[in-house]
């Protein structure tokens, strides 16, 4: 009997590895074809636990959360001829990865004051968080909605509209990624919050970025929409959320050059920077009429391309990018202090 069970578990382990690999391949093939897609979460409003969609957790690896062992134990007949057949009633085996709330401190450089920030972290898993959970009331504060966003998300737009009978939340952001010889896959895993305040993530779909197919400027988007209804003191209240995440392809910046120009278009000064060493603020010379920011990039053929942007005296912030080791390009804002 034990030998039969051991053989069954060995087959399960092999099949689990195959299923995990096939899931990644299938997601890559499907998303290589689509330029964008929208995911509507079915029966979100009928969830008996009233769990709310609050955002996404983006990973480069598929979150393998399905409980194959539990499914096989409950459905031994599903394994036949070395293949596992799922009967469609698998919701209870879809695993959840719960987040842990941590507290971090940050010091305001101008005032010297220390501020404590609470955030949810999926321990042991590398990924990028972008969600808007509700922090439950405590002795020192009432309940409130906060947003948590990794630096990998640029062009972040958050909309909160709360009324007596209904509320809505919109989350919009872009991930800028570089092209490389290795295909990049980004999995957009939905994040939910339960009525007790706990936050968890479930497995989601992925985008594959291939240098053989795409070039700088290619943009792909995925939307997630959900509506839930809760009853408080006999009164129903509807809450909805709409999330849009875009993946934008760009060449990695190699050098940033800042040119200060006069009113007669004469070059006053030229300063070079490493993309990840840009200052937090910049004070142009008194005679500077406008700035030209050059971003030097190396394209997929190895040639250097220069992209230029002009900033006038009415612009307060300069935007540049730097590429992280994982291929994500992070947007950096430099405050322009005009005299």
Confidence of residue 118 (pLDDT cuts 50, 70, 90): confident
Could you count the other beta carbons within 10 Å of the beta carbon of residue 260? 19
- The pLDDT, as a whole number, for residue 116 is 74
Per-residue three-class SS string for 109-177: CCCCCEEEEEEEECCCCCCEEEECCEECCECCECCEECCEECCCCEEEEEEEEECCCEEEEEEEEEEEE
Rounded to the nearest integer, the mean pLDDT of the chain is 80
- The pLDDT, as a whole number, for residue 212 is 64
Across the range 231-246, mean pLDDT stands at 86
- The pLDDT, as a whole number, for residue 70 is 65
Which stretch, 103-117, 165-179, 228-242, has highest mean pLDDT?
Answer: 165-179
> How close are the terminal C-alpha atoms of the chain, in Å?
84
Cα 307 to Cα 295: distance, rounded to the nearest angstrom = 5
Question: Looking at per-residue confidence, does 63 or 258 come out higher?
Answer: 258
Which stretch, 108-117, 136-145, 304-313, has highest mean pLDDT?
Answer: 304-313
Q: Is the pLDDT of residue 98 over 80?
A: yes
Could you count the other beta carbons within 10 Å of the beta carbon of residue 56? 25
Q: Phi first, then psi: what are they for 303, rounded to 5°? A: -85, 150
Give pTM, 2 decimals.
0.76
């Amino acid at each position: 009997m034990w030998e039969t069970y051991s053989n069954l578990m060995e087959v399960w382990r092999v099949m689990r590895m195959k299923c995990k690999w096939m899931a990644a391949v299938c997601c890559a093939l499907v998303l290589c074809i689509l330029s964008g897609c929208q995911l509507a979460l079915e029966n979100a409003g009928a969830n008996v636990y009233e769990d709310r969609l609050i955002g996404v957790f983006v990973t480069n690896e598929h979150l393998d959360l399905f409980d194959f062992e539990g499914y096989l134990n409950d459905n031994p007949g599903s394994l036949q001829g070395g293949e596992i057949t799922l009967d469609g009633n698998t919701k209870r085996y879809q695993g959840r990865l719960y987040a842990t709330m941590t507290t971090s401190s940050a010091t305001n450089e101008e005032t010297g004051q220390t501020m404590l920030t609470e955030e949810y972290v999926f321990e042991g898993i590398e990924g990028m968080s972008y969600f808007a959970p509700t922090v439950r009331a405590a002795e020192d504060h009432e309940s409130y909605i906060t947003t948590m966003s990794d630096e990998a998300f640029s062009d972040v737009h958050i909309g909160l509209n709360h009324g007596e009978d209904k509320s809505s939340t919109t989350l919009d952001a872009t991930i800028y990624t570089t092209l490389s010889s290795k295909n990049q896959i980004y999995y957009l895993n939905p994040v939910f919050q339960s009525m007790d305040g706990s936050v968890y993530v479930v497995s989601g779909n992925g985008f594959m970025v291939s240098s053989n197919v795409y070039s700088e400027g290619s943009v792909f988007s995925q939307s997630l929409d959900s509506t839930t209804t809760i009853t408080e003191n006999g009164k129903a209240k509807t809450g909805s959320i709409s999330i849009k995440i875009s993946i934008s392809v760009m060449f990695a910046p190699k050098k940033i050059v800042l040119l200060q120009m006069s009113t007669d278009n004469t070059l006053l000064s030229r300063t070079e920077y490493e993309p990840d060493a840009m200052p937090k603020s910049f004070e142009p010379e008194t005679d500077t009429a406008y700035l030209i920011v050059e971003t030097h990039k190396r394209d997929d053929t190895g040639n250097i391309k220069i992209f230029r942007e002009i900033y006038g005296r009415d612009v307060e912030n300069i935007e540049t990018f730097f590429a992280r080791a994982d291929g994500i390009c992070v947007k950096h804002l430099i405050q322009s202090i005009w005299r």
